Amino acid sequence: MPAQQSDQQTDPAGRAAATLQTVATSTEHLLHTVAELPPQAVAEPSALPGWSRGHLLSHLSRNADSLINLLESARTGRDIPQYASDEAREQGIEEGAARPLEEQLADLRASAERLAAVAAALPAPAWQAELKHRHGYTFPAWELPAKRLAELEYHHVDLDAGYTPAHWPAGFAAEEFARLGARYADLEGLPGLALVATDGDARALLGPAGSAEDAELLVEGPLRALTAWLSGRSDGDGLQVHRGGVQQDDPRTALPTLPPMG
């Protein structure tokens, strides 16, 4: 058994606590970005189609509250849904989207503090509980902090306010590269791709590629740039794409289109 997997199973509370520290740092970075926005920016478009920055900030606040529901489920053993319903989730985001920036900032801070307090008070055995995501799948409670971290880091980029994938914590980028690489490994319709990080030893094979040597496309670049492309936060900037040993002029047109993360 890999050491990391063994650690997660033998000390889920420790794993959660370590990730919660990164969540706290990520939250502070986001709060700083939001505090520096001009008042009118909250109504301007984010990088997510159909969402203003206000929608995005409202979503992050309500996401924190939804994760509190799941932690309460872990603590009590009761089946407490993440959201009352999909409609309630959408309504909560929509109702909060048009608030002034200072109200958005206060809500973002207060909801993050509530989540942190509930997580800090969770008994160690409860981090082993199985929780139900709003999409229906189950996951161990110790993975919940990583899900919050993904919301913060991806949506901080989506805020389109100067924070980019180059700012992502190294550990976050590495874990998301591994997760997304595994998710798309057997995706139908992709050419064979070998993804190779030039700033470490991270590797991934997508599509029908059985090895880096038989891949149709070799994609090289910094780990964060690779993760940005896999997550839909980049169209290939900072990457080099080789086809048959020949470097392609424009990675944006050489790379295939991936499905949304969902």
Read off the pLDDT of residues 133-149 as tens digits, 9 standing for 90 and up.
Answer: 999 999 999 999 999 99
- Reference 206, options 241, 245, 233, 180; nearest CA is 180
- pTM (2 decimals)? 0.94
Q: Phi then psi for 107, rounded to 5 degrees?
A: -65, -45
User: Mean pLDDT across the stretch 180-201?
Assistant: 94
| Three-state SS at 230 | helix
With tokens 């690489």, the residue in question is 181
Where are the alpha helices (H) located in 165-255, listed in sequence order? 170-183, 223-230, 251-254
CATH H-level superfamily of 10-163:
dinb family like domain (1.20.120.450)
Q: Phi then psi for 255, rounded to 5 degrees?
A: -80, 145
CA angle 166, 48, 21 (to 5 degrees): 45
Percent of the chain with pLDDT over 70: 96
Q: Are 10-163 and 171-254 the same fold in CATH?
A: no
Structure token digits, residue 75: 């603590």
pLDDT tens-digit readout, 93-127: 999 999 999 999 999 999 999 999 999 999 999 99
Give residue 146's pLDDT.
Answer: 97
Write out the CATH class of domain 171-254.
alpha beta
248 secondary structure, DSSP code: -
pLDDT tens-digit readout, 235-259: 999 999 999 999 999 999 999 999 8
User: Mean pLDDT across the stretch 57-61?
Assistant: 98
Give residue 260's pLDDT.
Answer: 85
The residue ranges of every structural domain in the chain are: 10-163, 171-254
What mean pLDDT is reported for the chain?
Answer: 94
